[in-house]
C-alpha cells in the first residue's frame, strides 16, 4: 500500500494531499458501498483514545452510557416539525425485513432525540428522577448526496450523543456549557486543535433546539470545520413527547433538555491541521504509538548488542506507560522504516546504530520539527516523557498561531468578499442581527455565520452587509 510516500505537497493541492495521507498512512479507505468509509486500526485507535477521555470525563460528572435502537419509526421523527424537516431529506429508510415489506418504514437514526425522549416520558416521574444524564456511542446515518470526504462527509459515521434532562432552565443551560467546555478541553488539549466557541445563528442551529452552541476551527485550506455541538433543547421536545415530572411542589412541570455530540470527523480535523508533506503528525496524547525504535542493523556481534539494547529501551519505556514499537524487521531498510513511520506520524523516533552504541547514546528525532538530538542512555526515559509533552504543546501553539493568522476582521463588504475569495479563514464582521443579511451573504459568497462568539467584542463599524447599526461581531467562513 504505502510503498511510496505522499506525492503531493500540502500547500500545492490540499484536497489531494489529504486523500493521499489518509489512504497511504492507512487511516481509512473507501468502502465498496457508495458514500461509506472504513476506519482502519491506526485511526480507530485515535477514536478509542477520544472515547476513553470523554468517557472518563462524563462518567466522573454522573453521566452513564446506554444503547438505544437505531431504528426510528417515521411517526416519531414527525412529532417535532423543525426536527423532521431538518433531517428527513437525508434519512436512509428501511422498508423491508426479510421478504416482508414493513407496515411503517423505519429511519436509520440520523440522531436519537425522538426515540430516546419517547422513553424519557415513561421513565421520568418525579423530581427524584432528575437530572437524567445519559450518553450513547454509536453509528449514525445521514444520506449525503455531496461528494464523499473521508472522515468529514460519509453516509455513515460514528459519534457520541449526550442527552440530559433537567428540572430547570438554569440546570439545562449549565449542562450545555459543561459539555461545550468538556469538548474544548478534549479538542485543544488532546487533539491540539484550537477552537472558537459560541452560539449558532438561528439558521444554523440544530433542528428542534432552542439554541445551539458550537466549537469551530479553521482547516489549512481556509474552510471552517464544525468540531462539535452542544444544544439547549429548551422544552421543545418535552412538550412534544410529554416529558414531565412532579416537582417537590406536587405540580407537573415540563423538563428542560440538552443534547451534544462529537463525531469521527475529529480525526479528519487532526489529520488536516497537523499533517505535513511527509504525512501525518499524531498529537502524542492520542497517538496509538508514541515512540518507534529503529535499530540500525549490521551483521556480526554489534548487531546483537544493538538488538539487546533496543529491546531494553523498549521495555523501559513500556514500563513507564509509553506506547512503543520496536521495528526490528529485517526485510526493510532503516531508511524505508523512517519514511514509513514519518508517514504514520509517530511523534518520536529513536535510532540506535553502532556509533551510538559505542557512545552510550541514542538519536531521538521529533516528528513535528524533524530535530535530531543525541540522548545519553540514562536520560532516555525522562527525555521521551518531556519531549512528548513538548511536542503536544508545540503542536497546539503552532495551530493557534495559524488560526490567529487565519482570523481577519473586515470593515466592509468589499473587504469581506475579498478575504472569502483570496484567503479564507474566519472573517470577523459586524452584523446587525438580521437573518436577511446572513442569507444574502451566504448566497453571494458561500460564507455562513459559524459562531456568534462567547468572547464578545464591540462592533467598530456598522453592519458590514447592510450598513445598519451592528449588534455584534460574528465569525463567518466557508465551511465543510
For the bound state, the minimum distance from the C-beta of residue 451 to a copy of itself, rounded and expressed in Å, comes to: 28
Separation between Cα atoms, residue 459 and residue 92, nearest integer Å:
44
- Residues 17 to 56: which contact a copy of itself by CB under 8 A? 29, 31-33, 36-41, 44-45, 47-48
Separation between Cα atoms, residue 413 and residue 238, nearest integer Å:
42
- Residues 320 to 359: which contact a copy of itself by CB under 8 A? 331
Integer angstrom CA distances of residue 310 from 350, 351, 352, 358, 480: 9, 9, 7, 14, 44
Separation between Cα atoms, residue 281 and residue 368, nearest integer Å:
7
For the bound state, the minimum distance from the C-beta of residue 324 to a copy of itself, rounded and expressed in Å, comes to: 14
| Nearer residue to a copy of itself within complex by CB, 47 or 84 | 47
- Residues 362 to 381: which contact a copy of itself by CB under 8 A? none
Residue-wise DSSP of 204-270: GS-TT-SEEEEEEEE-TTS-EEEEEEEEEEETHHHHHHT-EEE-TTS-EEE-EEEEEEEETHHHHHH
Candidates 20, 80, 113, 156; binder of a copy of itself (CB under 8 A) is 156
| Nearer residue to a copy of itself within complex by CB, 107 or 432 | 107
Candidates 143, 159, 254, 480; binder of a copy of itself (CB under 8 A) is 143
Candidates 6, 150, 152, 158; binder of a copy of itself (CB under 8 A) is 158
For the bound state, the minimum distance from the C-beta of residue 43 to a copy of itself, rounded and expressed in Å, comes to: 9
Which part of the chain contacts a copy of itself (CB under 8 A), choosing from 122-130, 193-201, 222-230, 399-407? 122-130
- What is the C-alpha end-to-end distance of the chain, expressed in Å? 28
Contact flag: residue 62 with a copy of itself (CB under 8 A): no
| Nearer residue to a copy of itself within complex by CB, 40 or 57 | 40
| Nearer residue to a copy of itself within complex by CB, 12 or 248 | 248
Separation between Cα atoms, residue 448 and residue 365, nearest integer Å:
42
For the bound state, the minimum distance from the C-beta of residue 147 to a copy of itself, rounded and expressed in Å, comes to: 15
| Nearer residue to a copy of itself within complex by CB, 66 or 408 | 66
Of 337, 216, 340, which is closest to residue 280 (Cα–Cα)?
340
The label of the residue with cell 437525508 reads 90
Q: Name 363's bridge partners.
A: 351, 374
Q: Name 474's bridge partners.
A: 429
Candidates 12, 56, 60, 99; binder of a copy of itself (CB under 8 A) is 99
| Nearer residue to a copy of itself within complex by CB, 12 or 331 | 331
8 Å CB contact between 192 and 392: yes
Which part of the chain contacts a copy of itself (CB under 8 A), choosing from 153-161, 232-240, 378-386, 469-477? 153-161
Candidates 155, 200, 309, 406; binder of a copy of itself (CB under 8 A) is 155
Candidates 111, 118, 392, 448; binder of a copy of itself (CB under 8 A) is 118
Integer angstrom CA distances of residue 261 from 140, 161, 214, 235, 304: 11, 5, 10, 19, 51
Separation between Cα atoms, residue 405 and residue 222, nearest integer Å:
11
| Nearer residue to a copy of itself within complex by CB, 101 or 300 | 101
- Residues 66 to 95: which contact a copy of itself by CB under 8 A? 66-73, 76, 88-95
Of 271, 263, 262, 337, which is closest to residue 42 (Cα–Cα)?
271
C-alpha gyration radius of the chain: 25
Q: Give the total of residues touching a copy of itself (CB under 8 A).
A: 57
> Could you list the residues that contact a copy of itself (CB under 8 A)?
1, 29, 31-33, 36-41, 44-45, 47-48, 64-73, 76, 88-99, 105-106, 108, 115, 118-119, 122-123, 125, 128, 134, 138-139, 143, 145, 155-156, 158, 331
Amino acid at each position: 500500500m504505502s510503498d511510496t510516500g505522499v506525492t503531493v505537497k500540502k500547500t500545492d493541492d490540499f484536497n489531494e494531499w489529504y486523500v493521499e495521507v489518509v489512504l497511504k498512512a492507512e487511516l481509512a479507505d473507501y468502502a465498496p458501498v457508495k458514500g461509506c468509509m472504513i476506519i482502519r486500526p491506526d485511526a480507530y485507535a485515535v477514536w478509542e483514545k477520544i472515547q476513553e477521555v470523554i468517557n472518563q470525563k462524563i462518567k466522573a460528572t454522573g453521566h452513564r452510557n446506554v444503547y438505544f435502537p437505531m431504528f426510528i419509526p417515521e411517526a416519531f421523527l414527525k412529532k417535532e416539525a423543525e426536527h423532521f424537516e431538518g433531517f428527513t431529506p437525508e434519512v436512509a429508510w428501511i422498508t423491508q425485513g426479510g421478504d416482508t415489506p414493513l407496515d411503517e418504514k423505519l429511519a436509520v437514526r440520523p440522531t436519537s432525540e425522538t426515540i430516546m425522549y419517547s422513553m424519557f416520558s415513561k421513565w421520568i416521574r418525579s423530581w427524584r428522577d432528575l437530572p437524567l444524564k445519559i450518553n450513547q456511542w454509536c453509528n449514525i446515518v445521514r444520506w449525503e448526496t455531496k461528494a464523499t470526504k473521508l472522515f468529514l462527509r460519509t453516509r455513515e459515521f460514528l459519534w457520541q450523543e449526550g442527552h440530559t434532562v433537567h428540572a430547570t432552565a438554569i440546570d439545562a443551560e449549565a449542562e450545555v456549557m459543561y459539555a461545550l467546555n468538556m469538548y474544548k478541553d478534549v479538542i485543544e488539549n488532546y487533539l491540539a486543535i484550537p477552537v472558537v466557541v459560541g452560539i449558532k445563528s438561528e439558521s444554523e442551529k440544530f433542528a428542534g433546539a432552542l439554541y445551539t452552541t458550537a466549537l469551530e476551527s479553521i482547516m489549512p485550506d481556509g474552510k471552517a470545520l464544525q468540531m462539535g455541538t452542544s444544544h439547549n433543547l429548551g422544552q421543545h421536545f418535552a412538550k412534544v413527547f410529554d416529558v414531565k415530572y412532579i416537582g417537590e411542589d406536587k405540580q407537573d412541570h415540563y423538563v428542560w433538555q440538552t443534547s451534544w455530540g462529537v463525531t469521527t470527523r475529529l480525526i479528519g480535523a487532526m489529520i488536516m491541521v497537523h499533517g505535513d508533506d511527509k504525512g501525518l503528525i499524531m498529537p502524542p496524547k492520542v497517538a496509538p504509538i508514541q515512540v518507534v525504535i529503529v535499530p540500525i542493523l549490521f551483521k556480526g556481534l554489534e548487531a546483537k548488542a544493538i538488538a539487546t539494547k533496543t529491546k531494553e529501551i523498549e521495555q523501559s519505556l513500556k514500563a513507564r506507560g509509553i506506547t512503543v514499537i520496536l521495528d526490528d524487521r529485517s526485510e526493510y531498510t532503516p531508511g524505508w522504516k523512517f519514511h514509513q513511520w514519518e508517514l504514520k506520524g509517530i511523534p518520536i523516533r529513536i535510532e540506535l546504530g553502532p556509533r551510538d552504541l559505542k557512545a552510550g547514546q541514542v538519536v531521538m528525532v521529533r516528528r513535528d520539527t524533524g530535530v535530531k538530538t543525541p540522548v545519553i542512555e540514562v536520560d532516555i526515559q525522562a527525555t521521551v516523557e518531556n519531549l512528548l509533552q513538548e511536542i503536544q504543546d508545540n503542536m497546539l501553539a503552532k495551530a493557534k498561531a495559524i488560526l490567529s493568522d487565519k482570523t481577519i476582521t473586515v470593515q466592509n463588504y468589499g473587504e469581506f468578499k475579498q478575504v472569502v475569495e483570496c484567503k479564507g479563514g474566519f472573517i470577523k464582521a459586524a452584523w446587525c442581527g438580521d437573518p436577511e443579511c446572513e442569507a444574502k451573504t451566504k448566497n453571494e459568497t458561500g460564507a455562513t455565520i459559524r459562531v456568534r462568539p462567547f468572547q464578545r467584542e464591540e462592533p467598530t463599524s456598522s453592519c458590514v452587509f447592510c450598513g445598519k447599526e451592528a449588534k455584534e461581531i460574528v465569525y463567518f467562513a466557508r465551511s465543510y
